[in-house]
Amino acid sequence: DLRRRAIHAAAYPVFLLAAACVLLPLPTLFGPCGTAGYLAEAGKGLGLLVLGGAVLAALPRVVARTGLDVPLRRIAFAVPVLGWPYRSGVLADMLHGMSAGFAAGLGVHDTLSMTARSLRDPRAAAACAATAARLEQGAEFAVALGATGLLPEHAMLAIAAGERSGTLADTLADLADEFGRIHADRMAWLVRAGTTLLLLAAMAMVAVRIIGAASGLFGELETLEQLEREVPGLFQPLPK
């Protein structure tokens, strides 16, 4: 759903850029190059737009194959503001995996091992392994998980209460839903901010092209005025 919303939000800025690539070179139709010059200018702009889209589409696969996803995930988890949507999503996945394991009747160690294997974030997977190691030393589940420092205090209090009352799976499921809603809200904010920046960038690029075309026109007018000053009577008014 978030991917669909992001694509839908980016549609208008991309359309604006495509329209600018087609409309702004129109004056070249009346120049010496004619249609060939117009097609070259429009094709260059549209080609750059398509190339940028292809690079963005291929970037996730390139990152995954080159092994850059692990350090990028570590950075995303630690970034204060831009990393918050990613962090809340990782916590939702982790809590959901633990809840599913306990609800299925798996033991604590099997649940933590399954959750660690299902998570693509290295820090969350390491937290599951650290929790399992502390459990082997005799610590309670809430204490062992809280020592990782991933979850806020209110979540740890709820997990401790669920562990004491025997409703740990339900408590983890409720917390997973809570972090999932937080993740959705933060991603929606990030999509809106990204759309606004993309729209401003598109408008700025169009403005630069318009100013450049206008500057060229003014330069030609200044050249004509200079010729008129140097050769008086060079340009005669059209007959009525």
pLDDT in tens, 72-110: 888 888 888 778 889 999 999 999 999 999 999 998 889
Cβ partners under 8 Å of residue 94, min gap 6: 115, 119, 124, 127, 128, 150
pLDDT at position 237: 67
pTM: 0.70
pLDDT band at 12 (very low <50, low <70, confident <90, very high): confident
pLDDT confidence of 26, banded at 50, 70, 90?
Answer: confident
**pLDDT score for 154:** 92
| Predicted pLDDT at 151 | 92
Closest CA to 5 of 162, 189, 137, 235: 189
Instruction: Give 112's contacts (C-beta < 8 A, 6+ positions apart).
Output: 98, 101, 128, 129, 131, 132, 135
